[in-house]
Amino acid sequence: MVSQVIHCQISGSPNKRMTGVELCRVMAEADLTPNALALRLGGCWPRTTVYRMVKREFIDLHPVEMEELLTALGATTL
């Protein structure tokens, strides 16, 4: 099973702000209204400005599979 998490950061700097298209994409992917997105980020729309969105995927593994993966990664040197 794959879970998707959307991480957003807030900025008061105009040159780091997200464009309207990017912000609409974040709201659509998170299935949120502008006010709901701002409230989740601890602000109030439109004063809260979202400037970076990173979509990450997390793979949910069974505990035994997770232990095997961690063991394999522990044996690997970078």
The highest-confidence range among 1-5, 42-46, 65-69, by mean pLDDT, is 65-69
**Residue 40 parent element (H or E):** helix 34-40
Contact residues for 6 (Cβ-Cβ < 8 A; gap 6+): 26, 29, 30, 53, 54, 55
Judge whether residue 56 has pLDDT over 70.
no
* Residue 75 to residue 51: CA distance in whole angstroms: 38
The per-residue pLDDT for 64 is 77
Distance of CA 77 to the CA centre of its chain: 29
* Residue 48 to residue 43: CA distance in whole angstroms: 5
Q: Of the ranges 42-46, 66-70, 73-77, which one carries the lowest mean pLDDT score?
A: 42-46
Instruction: Show me where the domains of the chain are located.
Output: 2-74
